[in-house]
Structures are given as C-alpha cells and as structure tokens.
Structure 1
Amino acid sequence: MKHLNKLFVAVMMVMGLSSHAQDSNNPWAISFGVNAVDTKTSAGGGNNWLDRHFSQPFAVKDNWNILPSVSYLSVSKYVGDNFSFGLSGSVNKIDKYVKFAPTAVGHDSRGYVVSNPGDLMYYGIDATIKYSLMNVINSKVIDPSLSVGGGYTFFGDSSYGTLNPGAGLTFWFTENVGLELATKYKKSFGDREDAAGVPDAPSHFQHSAGLIFKFGGKDTDGDGIYDKDDACPEVAGLKEFNGCPDTDGDGIQDSADACPEVAGLAALNGCPDTDGDGIADKDDACPEVAGLAALKGCPDADGDGVADKDDKCPSVAGPKENAGCPWPDTDGDGVLDKDDKCPEVKGTVANQGCPEITEEAIKQLNNYGKTILFNSGKSTFKPQTFPVLQSMVSILKEYPYSKFMVEGHTDSDGSNELNQTLSENRAAAVKNYLIENGITTDRLRSTGFGETKPIDSNKTAKGKANNRRVEVSLIKE
C-alpha cells in the first residue's frame, strides 16, 4: 500500500505539469483518490426496493468502508460527442458488512446489523462509458455526468461480475484539472453469502472522490490552441484567428494582412493610411498629404491634373506638357513660349517665333559683302575688312534661326577654273570667319560662282571691282 501511494503522488506531480485544453484537444484523463464501499444495498429488509437501497445513503460512519489512502486509479479517453471510455481499478478493506437480521443481537431499530467479517479485501476492475452533461448545461466549471459499465469484483475469496450504472459530478479548477465525485451501483445479480454467513457476492454502492487531470493534446507553438484546431500550428497566434498571428495587432491576421508589421485598416487589407485619403501608405506617393487616387494619393490644388509635387505652378492651372503652368507668350508674337525658338524676341509663326530677316537687313549684308577686301589673287582678308565682317556678325546674330548662303564672285581676269576656285575659297573664308565669331555652323553654307554672274562690265576697272564681291542670301526651308 505504501508503494501504491508513492506511485499516485508521482503521477499527480507529472499530470500537474500538463497543459490546459478542452476534452477534444486533451482526450486522455487520469483520476485517482479515495473510494468507499457500502454493502447495505444487498442486506435485504426494508419496505421496498427504494427503501432497501436508499434508506441510508449517507451513513458514512456506520456503513462505508474507506481506506485512509489513495485507493482507486482510473484512465479514460474522450471518444467524441461528450462520451468517454475508461478503465479503473480500486482496492478497499471490508470491515463494515451490513446485514438485515432483526432477530440478531445488536441490530438497529430497522433490523440491520453491521459486522466485521475479518480481514476481507476488496478489489475491483471496471470499464465505464461516461456521458458528460457539461456542454448541455453550457458550463466550463460544473461537469455532471451519467455512466454505465461493467466490471469484475474480487470480494475476499470470491469473485463475480457486476453491471455498473452510475453518476458523477466534476468541478474543474482549470480547463484540465478538477475534483471528481462519482458513485456506482454495482449489481451482482445474485447477492449471496456462504454457509457461514460470510458475504460471497453482494451488490453494493461504490463512491469515489479524487483529482482528475486531462492531457494528451499537442500545441507545437505554445499559443494555447492545439494543433488539430490551429490553422497556424507552428506559429503562435490568437484564438480568434484559429491560432494564426496578428503581429501588428490591428485585428487582421498576418496571412490576410498586406502590411503585417504595421497596424492598418481592414478596408485597406491591414495597411495604414496616414493622410486618410483612402490610399494605403505603401501605394501613396504623398502618404502624409491627402490626395487623389488618380495621382497616386498626391494633391492637385489647382485641379489641372498635375500633382502639386510635380506642378511648377501649383496654384494656377496649366497643361501637363508645361509642368502644370499656363502656356505663356512672353514676346506676344502668337507663338507660345514652349514652341517659340525666340521666346523673348517677337517673331513670326512661320519662323517658329523668331523674327524673319528683312529685305533691308539682307541688303545691308550685301552692301557689307561688296566692301570685303581680299589680298590680290588670294582668299585672305586685308586688315581694313575685319570691321566689316564684325558688322555682318552682328546682323546675323539678330536672326539666330535664319540660315544663309555665302556666295563668292570674281571678275573675268584669269581662267574660268582659277576664278571658280578663288570664288569658292573666298566664300568659304567669309563663312569660316562668321562661324569663328559666334554664328553656328548649321546656319551657314558657302558656294562660288566664279565669273559667271557679273553685275557690271568686266571691261572697266570700276566694273571689275563691282564684280569682285561677296553676296549673302536667305536660305528658305
């Protein structure tokens, strides 16, 4: 008996470490405690069946046989739908055996005699099917139950089978630790005594009181939700999300949260919206300023379709092509600055907003061209010619988008071939000078006509001087 007590204490310590759970999660249970055997029900006598069986149900001191130690052990398994199946073993010592003997010495007022049959040991092995009513009454603490089963009893030197209807009441301190009270009526079908009056196979009540522990559930992530009910069994989570986590605590589980580490709104799949414009910060190009969905969350103060951050004129509406600014025409020539090659100088539409060179300017260029002096038979300039060339540069700069042809002409002295080459070289020399002094290359071309286009007679010195000239003409494209 001493060793049995030690075994029960060890089991209790181990079971005390088990985790909390519901029956369906922790299907196994073990219980142990004290049992009491009452043999009055088989004593006979009484006015009827109820009187015989229940006239003295709580006569603990008079009728109950109790060992002052752990005297029963039960192991059960939850099988579903509030049912569990269990096996139990119990031990007791019968020193109070109740008989109905109204003529015997020492009987009580009802005719019952309680005797000590000697060193009579009691052992019971029972199988039980129990139905819990805890869910029926919707309680998490009080757990009434009904049971039925059968077993085998060793009563002194005899042994016999029994049918065991019963009832119980458990008070759960936690979800898996409780105090269990139970009673069984063990019907032996043929209560009897031997010839000496020693009980042989009596029916009896067996009561028990002890601790019960449920165990056996698996909770891999330790979140209190067992794996079979845990949608995320390897990651600790919350009960309301079937064991899945909500890292940012916004009420949206991580698996459905587009921003699982930052608290957000359900309407935005768990993402925040700092500026409250209905666009999640992760998709908002201006997350701290309320804006428009069409502009990725950025504002458009002037309503021109250009986000303020990209709008060079955020308070004045203007086209996107002009960075949100209204199109100006600074020089008032009818050509918008965006298309105006000369936005600060009044020009013409035909010349992309730049002024077109006048006939007067062309005439002036050609007057200058006639006074250009070259060294005799060469394409190099005489010193007094440079002021004339600078004057030509000034005129050309007034018309920066006009293009010109520089033409070289000679008199008739010398061979045609020589004159042709000389005219080309002199025209090229003028063009190169103009380029070197700020006129872009793409605005100038040069050609030579030799002696083929005289403007005066080559028979006089004056006429020849007039024929040796440089002319400038406008190239129209």
Structure 2
Amino acid sequence: MRKFFFVVTVFLLSNIFAQVESNRNRKWQIGFGTGVVKFSDEDASFIGDKNMIQIPRLNLTIPIGEQLSLDGAMSFNSFGVGFIDNSVKYFSLDGSVRYNFNQLSEDFVPYVFAGGSLVDSERKMTPTFNVGAGLTYWITNSLGLNTQLYYKHSLESFESMRSHIQITGSLIYSFDIGNLFSGRATSAIGGACYFNQH
C-alpha cells in the first residue's frame, strides 16, 4: 500500500510540473477555509469524536486541461478556541483530480473528483480513497466561494481510521501564473535595457 501511494504521489507531482509551462495562461486557484468531519455513531466510539472541525484548511488547484484540474489540500486540526475544540486530532493531506462542468455556467462551476488522503489521527497516519463533488460560485473574476463534499473510504485492513464524510467551505482566489513570470521577465528586460542605454 505504501508503494502504491508513493507511485500515485510521484505521478501527480510529475504531471503538475510537466503541465506548468503549457498552462501558464490558465487560472490557478488558492483557497482558505474550514472543514467538518463526520463519523457514524459506531465509528465515533472508536475514533473518539463524532464531529470534528478543521481550521484552517488550505488548498491549491492547478488546471491541466480544458475541464480537468489537480487539487491539493491540507486540513489542520482546530486551534482550540473553546466551543470548537476537538476531542481528538485530525490532520489530512488530500490530493484529487477534478472534472469541472465549467460549460454549464459562468458563475457556478460544479465538479466531481476522485483521489486519496493521508489522515493523521490519534493513532497513526492512514491512507483513504476519496470521491466527492463540489461547487464554486464566482463572486468576481478573481474571488469565489467553494464548498465540497468528500467521502473518505478507509480499508478495513487499516485499524487506525474509519470511513467518514468531510464537508469543506473556502474563499477562493484565482490568479494567472503566467502573469507572475512574465512580469518578472519584463522587469528584468526593462532594467537591462535601461543600463545598456547609459
């Protein structure tokens, strides 16, 4: 199983770096938000908590095609602010491939996704297989609101985690990665020309 996740991780990373150059004119997205994890009553007695809150949750989405994108996220345990303290810890690293139905509407973009997570609990870090759906509502050209519903399946062979649901909500900011690089290049060229003239 460890070899499988290693191969999947290498594959995803290689695709990210292979596609950066060809997708510089596309929009990347970063998000900041929160999440809620829900276990069944039976599994909650094993895990130690039924509903857990994650603050913050950070994610980065990179387009790799017209309707496909890669998404990576980190969900941290809550920082302990009174009424949202968790009885046990929950930290996860998530990776998924999205299929975006962006042809349906300019403002509302629904999508489905599949991927995996590494979930760190009270016992040890455990892999899960994920499927789910999400929706982004674009308030402006650059700012949007996003919500997602995960089903994280934990194999019975793993004794440290149980299958569960995660619901997330985030504020999304989109940006053109190509402009960042072209801006630097323009400044460098402009500076060189200035000095060459004197």
Normalised-by-shorter TM-score class? 0.5 to 0.7
Tell me how far apart the structure 2 counterparts of residues 78 and 24 of structure 1 sit (CA, whole Å): 9
Tell me how far apart the structure 2 counterparts of residues 24 and 81 of structure 1 sit (CA, whole Å): 13
SS at match of 1:80: coil
Deviations 1:14-35 (A, max 9, x none): xxxxxxxxx9834311111011
Correspondence 1:271-310 to 2 at 5 A: none
Change (3 A) 1:217 1:201: closer
Structure 1 residue 203: Cα displacement: 1.0
Q: Which has the higher contact order (CA 8 A, sep 6+)?
A: 2
Tell me how far apart the structure 2 counterparts of residues 24 and 82 of structure 1 sit (CA, whole Å): 15
Tell me how far apart the structure 2 counterparts of residues 81 and 143 of structure 1 sit (CA, whole Å): 13
Amino acid at match of 1:186: K
Correspondence 1:70-469 to 2 at 5 A: 70-92=55-77, 119-135=87-103, 138-190=104-156, 200-218=160-178
Is 2:53 the counterpart of 1:66?
Answer: yes
SS at match of 1:170: strand
Amino acid at match of 1:210: S
State whether residues 191 and 202 of structure 1, in contact with CA within 8 Å, keep that contact through their aligned partners in structure 2: no
Map of 2:16 onto structure 1: none
Tell me how far apart the structure 1 counterparts of residues 41 and 133 of structure 2 sit (CA, whole Å): 17
Tell me how far apart the structure 1 counterparts of residues 158 and 28 of structure 2 sit (CA, whole Å): 38
Change (3 A) 1:170 1:24: farther
Structure 1 residue 85: Cα displacement: 0.4
TM-score normalised by structure 2 residue count: 0.66
Map of 1:321 onto structure 2: none
Structure 1 residue 64: Cα displacement: 2.8
Tell me how far apart the structure 2 counterparts of residues 41 and 81 of structure 1 sit (CA, whole Å): 41
Change (3 A) 1:219 1:154: closer
Tell me how far apart the structure 1 counterparts of residues 132 and 41 of structure 2 sit (CA, whole Å): 15
More strand by share: 2
Amino acid at match of 1:73: L
Amino acid at match of 1:66: I
Structure 1 residue 174: Cα displacement: 1.3
- Bigger radius of gyration: 1
Amino acid at match of 1:122: Y
Tell me how far apart the structure 2 counterparts of residues 28 and 165 of structure 1 sit (CA, whole Å): 22
Map of 1:38 onto structure 2: 38
Tell me how far apart the structure 2 counterparts of residues 121 and 33 of structure 1 sit (CA, whole Å): 18
TM-score normalised by structure 1 residue count: 0.29
Aligned length, in residue pairs: 148
Change (3 A) 1:121 1:43: closer
Deviations 1:304-336 (A, max 9, x none): xxxxxxxxxxxxxxxxxxxxxxxxxxxxxxxxx
State whether residues 119 and 126 of structure 2, in contact with CA within 8 Å, keep that contact through their aligned partners in structure 1: yes
Change (3 A) 1:66 1:191: farther
Map of 1:249 onto structure 2: none
Map of 1:277 onto structure 2: none
Amino acid at match of 2:163: S
Identity of aligned residues (%): 28
Tell me how far apart the structure 2 counterparts of residues 91 and 160 of structure 1 sit (CA, whole Å): 15
State whether residues 77 and 91 of structure 2, in contact with CA within 8 Å, keep that contact through their aligned partners in structure 1: yes
Structure 1 residue 66: Cα displacement: 1.8
